[in-house]
Structure 1
């Protein structure tokens, strides 16, 4: 499978999606690596379902750059899991992305911006660090799935966003497939899953989920918010208020 790297990202993504929309996740990852090589990264939260995608990727390319958003607000269990899982899978290039000191000093000096503006908090702790890191790549892999609902219900396997090609190898998989794969390969679970956290983000904005609730119901509970912002398309040159009087 070979494609012209001079193709515009949108047309290339459309052609790849048409070819890969029913493919096994491993085939999608292999196609991404073949097409983009060292210009491909994988973004992982090392959260509740992350082990499956990371294991799949490790079978294809153990030195794939894995970008981990270390927001400074993560659960201690997540930080421990990031280290143990990366070692378990033999991943050799996991990069911790942290918010810039100046962004925090200006917009969130007391580390309490999450109380008043979760969008701005996510922007300086997730969106900006990822934007800086992803600039070095032409494409990236995500762990999003349609069964998570919301805006993800119509998620394609390959898409274009902000000038990059994005691969969603697990888009077609449901919880049954994820659980079966994790069991087959004896993948270690995130320690908070057993405590009722099926989706795990930063500790101030993540709660356990009640029986019968959506998988992501514990994220920003009570707010009209379902995404942190890294998967929200932005207009070119768009400026996001960082909070305060900026």
Structure 2
């Protein structure tokens, strides 16, 4: 694997490339997600990587794996100021239950909110702009100190995620998708095996949970993310790019 840290210019942030993602993909092929995370979080990526979590319906699985590997791994949570109260309570409960010791809550910049969404209703007419303001920009700040990050995306969640790899690179930063090939059966089994608590809104039909104004219940036969931004031609918030 090429070493992305061997740079001649000290003022340039170390960057990963596609060859690095491919090398990691080959190296960890067939290795279970918990073992993969343990190896990387306590080894070469220690101190350089953060987990990003929405504390949604399936988040407990990845967070449990991270906590088992290294509970001091930074976890970045973007509080859009439009979250369900149940999500915030679930976050606090999970953090305590799993023993996570470095949870970083990032919020939208007040000056940008005052300028671009003073009435707090942008989600109703420009959901892309709202997500950029309340999710994408804050997360970029939250990830600025890190060279790699962990996502909880799974391939079965939506058509835009079917070809999801375990390792990819975005803007020079290594991105891990440890649960890329997990399905609902595997997730449910992990919840049961480790006695993990469920998000309180899941039982009401919310299978993918984001901001309260843009999240609705999923109907029978729909994919798990169908309840996000219902009525708009939108399936991703902008944090994740569609995978071909």
Q: TM-score, normalised by structure 2?
A: 0.92
What residue in structure 2 maps to residue 61 of structure 1? 70
Q: C-alpha deviations, 1:38-68, integer Å up to 9, x for none? A: 1100000000000000001100000100000
1:9 is matched with which residue: 9, 16, 24? 16
1:103-126 residue CA offsets vs partner (Å, 9 max, x unmatched): 100000000000110000000100
> Post-superposition shift, 1:5?
4.7
Structure-2 separation of matches of 1:160 and 1:177: 26
1:33-182 equivalences under 5 Å are: 33=41, 34-182=43-191
Following the alignment from structure 2 to structure 1, what is the Cα–Cα distance between the partners of residues 22 and 39?
Answer: 14
TM-score of the two chains, using structure 1 as the length reference:
0.91
1:191 positional shift: 0.2
Corresponding pairs, count: 232
What residue is the counterpart of 2:9 in the other structure?
A: none
Match of 2:208? 199
2-side partners of 1:98 and 1:171: how far apart? 27
What secondary structure does 2:21 align onto?
helix
Deviation at 1:3, TM superposition (A): 7.3
Bigger Cα displacement from structure 2, 26-35 vs 113-122: 26-35
Distance, in Å, in 2 between the alignment partners of 1:178 and 1:184 is 10
- Distance of 2:171 and 2:39 partners within structure 1: 21
Matched, 1:185 2:184: no
Q: Are the counterparts in 2 of residues 32 and 40 from structure 1 also a CA contact under 8 Å? A: no
Moved more, 188-197 or 215-224: 215-224
Alpha carbons 1:67, 1:97 under 8 Å: kept: yes
Larger RCO, structures 1/2 (Cα 8 Å, 6+ apart): 1
Aligned with 2:217 (options 204, 208, 214): 208
Question: Deviating runs (4+, > 4 A) in structure 1?
Answer: none
Unaligned stretches of 5+ residues in structure 1: 234-246
Q: 1:55 to 1:3 in 2, by over 3 A?
A: farther
Moved more, 15-24 or 162-171: 15-24
1:25 matched to 2:24: no
- Structure 2 portions without partners, runs of 5+: 7-14
Deviation string 1:132-187 (CA, Å, 9 cap, x unpaired) is 11111000000000011222101000000111000000001100000000001100
